């Protein structure tokens, strides 16, 4: 098996260096980011696990976690300096899989990383199905099948689709979609989002004039209205 790739998003270089050294000694490939923005950009390298500090200079760790969750099922271990119940809860609500309270022992963190990766391996094929099997999405292998035909989605289209299926019946506005696609906002992104949605619809909708899966919410954005099939 190839070495697993771990992304550390942590602004305190001392901590990130120590953790990286321990992980590398254990055979992991480690990438580091010092800001939330850089971390989100590095998600495209498909890390096997993310170690995410809750307090970063530019963004809140929980927000970053939510954004990662918009496009990826990658396990996230949150580093938190706080040890209060509501903080843990906030982390889990944002989609973190585990958390470690600072100060922590790097050995313990590496053990948690290993445990989490083992767990991921055992359920690494996560297929979700919508509208009586019409649309199948393997979130791990990133495969999408529409009426038995495999689709080729661009990474952006896949990210958007993942964001939609994680928010069924909940409208997402263009700003949120921009955050999911880019990790940050800039002028002119609205039209780019609309163009991505148009392309995605062309692939997953039977009739783009009467979309059944991604509907427009006027004045807001878009909403995924597919019905998840019972497992
Ligand atoms: Ca920090």
Residues whose CB is under 5 A from ligand 1 (ion)?
11, 53, 55
Domain containing 207 equals: 127-224
111 Cα: distance to centroid of ligand 1 (angstroms): 21
70 and 34 in one domain?
Answer: yes
Average pLDDT along the chain:
85
114 and 197 in one domain?
Answer: no
Residue 82's pLDDT is: 63
Per-residue CA distances from 151 to 5, 139, 147 (Å): 27, 14, 10
Residue 174 lies in a domain: yes
57 Cα: distance to centroid of ligand 1 (angstroms): 7
Single out the residue in 123, 148, 172 at which a domain terminates: 123
Stretch 150-169: mean pLDDT: 86
Q: Going by DSSP bridges, is the β-strand pair 149-151/172-173 parallel, antiparallel, or unpaired? A: unpaired
- Return the HEC string of 135-199: EEEECCCCEEEECCEEECCCHHHHHHHHHHHCCECCCEEHHHHHHHHHCCCCCCHHHHHHHHHHH
Tokens matching residue 113 = 């990383």
Residue 230 lies in a domain: no
Would the pLDDT of 183 be above 60? no
Would the pLDDT of 1 be above 50? no
171 and 112 in one domain?
Answer: no
Mind listing the pLDDT tens digit for each residue in 6-16?
A: 999 999 999 99
Single out the residue in 68, 99, 123 at which a domain terminates: 123
186 Cα: distance to centroid of ligand 1 (angstroms): 26
32 Cα: distance to centroid of ligand 1 (angstroms): 13
CATH number of the domain enclosing 86: 3.40.50.2300
Single out the residue in 123, 149, 170 at which a domain terminates: 123
33 Cα: distance to centroid of ligand 1 (angstroms): 11
Stretch 99-103: mean pLDDT: 86
179 Cα: distance to centroid of ligand 1 (angstroms): 21
147 and 118 in one domain?
Answer: no
């Amino acid at each position: 098996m190839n070495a697993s790739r771990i992304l550390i998003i942590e602004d305190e270089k001392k901590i990130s260096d120590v953790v990286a050294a321990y992980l590398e000694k254990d055979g992991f490939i480690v990438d580091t980011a010092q800001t939330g923005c850089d971390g989100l950009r590095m998600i495209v390298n498909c890390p096997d696990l993310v170690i995410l500090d809750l307090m970063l200079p530019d963004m809140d760790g929980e927000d970053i976690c939510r954004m990662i969750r918009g496009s990826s099922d990658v396990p996230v271990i949150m580093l938190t300096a706080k040890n209060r119940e509501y903080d843990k809860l906030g982390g889990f609500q944002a989609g973190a899989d585990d958390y470690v309270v600072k100060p922590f022992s790097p050995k313990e963190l590496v053990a948690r990383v290993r445990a989490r990766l083992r767990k991921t391996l055992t359920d690494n094929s996560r297929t979700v199905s919508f509208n009586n099997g019409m649309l199948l999405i393997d979130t791990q292998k990133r495969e999408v099948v529409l009426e038995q035909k495999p689709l080729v989605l661009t990474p952006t289209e896949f990210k958007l689709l993942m964001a939609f299926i994680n928010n069924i019946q909940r409208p997402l506005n263009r700003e949120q979609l921009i955050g999911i696609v880019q990790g940050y906002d800039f002028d002119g992104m609205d039209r780019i989002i609309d163009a991505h949605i148009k392309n995605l619809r062309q692939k997953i909708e039977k009739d783009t004039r009467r979309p059944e899966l991604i509907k427009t919410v006027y004045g807001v954005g878009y909403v995924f209205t597919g019905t998840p099939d019972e497992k």
